[in-house]
Structures are given as C-alpha cells and as structure tokens.
Amino acid sequence: MDAASVLVTGGSGFLGGALIKHLASVRKLSLTAPVRNLSVILPPEVQLLSVVSLGGDTDWRNALVNIEVVVHAAARVHVLNDSTTEPLAEYRSVNVDGTLNLARQAAAAGVKRFIFISSIKVNGEFTSSGGAFTADDSLAPSDPYGISKFEAEQGLLEIAAATSMEIVIIRPPLIYGPGVGANFLSMMRWVYKGIPLPLGAVHNARSLVSLENLIDFIVVCIDHPNASNQTFLVSDDQDVSTTELLHKIGCSLGRPACLVPVPSWLLCSASTLVGKRSLAQRLLGSLQVDIKKNNRLLGWKPPVRMDDALESTAQYFLEYQRK
C-alpha cells in the first residue's frame, strides 16, 4: 500500500476530509482529491483538483492518471424531511449517475480497486429485537437515499463483472467523531445545555461507527486481497440504546444527561401528531449490524473503543461546536 496512488472524493466532507488527512499524514500515500472548492484545508502534499459537479457527464480523465485506488466518499447525503419535489431523481443524479460515471472512467483508466462508501440504509431502516443486518442479507431500501445507494451498488457490481477493476462496498451506520453534524450534534447540544429529554426509558439497540474505526477499516480495504468484490458492514461492535448513548455523551461532556423516563409507545404517538415520526423512529427503533465477516475475511476488529471515540468527539465539540 505504501506505493499506491489513491483518489478520494468528498474531501470537503466529514468522512472524506478526515480520511484524506489520515492517508496523507499517517499512511504517507500519494493522494489526489477532487473538490468543488480549492480553498478547502487539506494537507499540502495532497494534489487538489477542481471538479464542478459529481454527475453523469463529469470528465474524470485528468484526475485518474496513475491512480490505483479510488475511494468514493462523495454523495448527496440523506436529508430528513427533504423538500425537493422529486427527491429520488435528485439522489440518482449524484449517487447513481455520478458514481457509475466515475467508476466506468476509473476502469477505463486502469484503476485496480474502487471502494464505494454506501449506507446501511441499503439493508433497511430497522432490525427486529435481537436481530442484526449482515452484509449478505436480502436488501430493503425504502427511502430515496437508500434506493439510490442500492442502485449504485448494483451498477458497480455490473462494472466489476465486465472489467478487471475490483469493487469494495462498505455500508456504515451512523458515523460520529470530531466535527460530526446533523442529529448527533443536536443530541450533544441538548445534553450540554442540560435540556430535559424524554428518552430515559428507551430499550432499543443501535450500531454506530466512529470516524476512527471507519477510516481504519477503509485503509484495510485499500489493498487487502480478500476485500476484492466484497460487501462489508462496519461498526464499533458495541451496540447501545439511545438512553445509554445519551448517558455516555453526558459523561464525555462532563454534563450528566437529564433524561426523563417516558414510555416509547407514548413518544411514538406524540411524534406522529407533531410530524416528527421519522426522527422518533431513529431515536426509538433498533438498527444492529453484524461485522463478523470483517474479522473472518480481513482479520479486522474495531481498534477504538466507543467510550474513547466519544471522548474525542466531545473534546472537539467543547472546543469548536458547543455554541
């Protein structure tokens, strides 16, 4: 891997930016990062290329010269309560057409391996009590984002079958770490401000993956021979309930979470009445993943404990995000 030339998309994003910094600073790889904004702050040794858009007609030829591995982390991300009139078409334009266009050009340019950061939403939204998704389950995406990622996966497998380029698909659940945004950041702010939350009696089980563990897994997939043409789920391998997670966040922030024990059925009913059903489902439902395949094929286990990852997330929050 020391000699590999790697192209990483999504360099201005949460995962892509952190991955590039790790590969450049720790792994010392030769890196190319196509970005929309050339002012994005990345290590000086990274070659930045201006890319206006990620679509079906983007020309990647210059970016792919001498590239051996592509890690495709750029995407139109999942948005709660998306107000777009045709959300599936919008997701497909970037996540399907853009992904497959890049992959086809990568195969034509002689790229050896294409690593696609997909989503656990390809498997489905929830797991039953005591159950867990596996990488080889039947798939049940239900929203436009999950459907677009599923369709991109299917197209990539067709490209792998027709060319010599290897495909690796990685489906993470919720990713957290220093600089995290969206719902996880909201939870941290709620706990930090001492806002009473009616989530003190939630007995679900959810898998999460820290930024550090996901990056470590991607690094393994860059050149491990057994990763070729495989699909993997990834997590911290430590499932928690929403109640437990909030307590852990409070401990990391030095601000005990103020949780009120309200029955989940009552929360579900109330959330439906106020139009927040999708958010409530994510807070109250279970979503577990089984990562035994990762250890069996790649010898991989998460190197970072959840408590340690939450600690680093909290420290970043206290320094930069608490307002």
Q: At what angle do helices 242-253 and 182-192 cross, to 10 degrees?
A: 60
Structure tokens given for 129? 């009590």
Q: Any catalytic annotation for residue 320?
A: no
Catalytic residue among 91, 145, 176, 192: 145
Rounded Cα–Cα distance for residues 179 and 318 (Å):
11
Residues with a known catalytic role: 145
